[in-house]
Amino acid sequence: MSSVHPVTDPNSWGPGIDEAVNAVSRGGLVVLPTDTVYGIGADAFDADAVAALLAAKGRGRQMPPPVLVPDARTLDGLATEVPDDARRLVEELWPGGLTIILKAQPSLAWDLGETHGTVALRMPDHEAALALLRRTGPLAVSSANRTGSPAALDADDARAQLGDAVVVYLDGGPVPGGVASTIVDATSGTLRVVRAGAVSLDRLREIAPVDGPTDPGREAPEATRDETSEAAGDDSTPSAPEANGG
């Protein structure tokens, strides 16, 4: 049976965060608010928990979840060969609505799905989410909805879609953003938007050269096209070149 805990007030959210941390440590799933949409999360280093997350959404391994991190300094622990332009985007836009796809550190003992050696990373701009992440470490997080349905914008909607597949729901009220994160693929020589979202292309280009999703010369990987054709609010990101929360 799942439980729901309010996390709107830092002075009182301790018990809810505690229970969510305990759930994650036991391989359970949690729902958490972010600055974009609600996410469903699992320990990124627990393959069974990640598989349960994908099953709860009705999704296969070909659409692996992105990973939320508590701090930009986590970047080099999880990714390798990070381009300077990608670092500039992270420095300017994290925490915030930017998911960046990078080559994963080959030594990491995790199984997010069919990632082809990449990982999609984001630091959310939401204090309750960050409070959880600081205690759990990186979480595999996809949008809190069944695949093909609109992303949940509040905890009640997430619970209606995911039910008792989730152990703990953290209720932060309606999310402030409601728009999925922008996804930028940084795994090749050119940065490229593979899903438009919370951060505009113009804003990205103020910081670094970035190709738009419809610019000629580069085609989105097949799995990326599959994912971004889903519900527009689905803030999940298969690690590209397969890219698709919170």
CATH number of the CATH domain containing 47: 3.90.870.10
- Predicted confidence at residue 215, as pLDDT, reads 63
The pLDDT profile of the chain, 246 residues, written as one tens digit per residue, is 899 999 999 999 999 999 999 999 999 999 999 999 999 999 999 999 999 999 999 998 888 999 999 999 999 999 999 999 999 999 999 999 999 999 999 988 788 988 889 999 999 999 999 999 999 999 999 999 999 999 999 999 999 999 999 999 999 999 988 899 999 999 998 999 999 999 999 999 999 999 998 765 444 433 332 333 232 234 444 434 333 355
Q: Would 234 be classed as within a structural domain?
A: no
Q: Would 171 be classed as within a structural domain?
A: yes
Q: Would 237 be classed as within a structural domain?
A: no
- Predicted confidence at residue 68, as pLDDT, reads 98
Q: Helices in 6-153 by DSSP H: which ranges?
A: 14-25, 47-57, 75-78, 84-93, 127-136
Q: Would 245 be classed as within a structural domain?
A: no
Q: Would 43 be classed as within a structural domain?
A: yes
Domain extent for 134: 3-228
Containing 170, the helix (H) or strand (E) segment is strand 168-171
Q: Would 242 be classed as within a structural domain?
A: no
Residue 241: asked if its preceding bond is cis (omega within 30°), the reply is yes
User: Structurally, how many domains does the chain consist of?
Assistant: 1
pTM for this model (two decimals): 0.88
Q: Would 57 be classed as within a structural domain?
A: yes
HSE, side-chain direction, 13 A CA sphere, residue 119: 30
Residue with tokens 């113009």: 202
Q: Would 239 be classed as within a structural domain?
A: no
Please give the radius of gyration of the chain, using alpha carbons only, rounded to the nearest integer.
Answer: 16
- Predicted confidence at residue 169, as pLDDT, reads 98
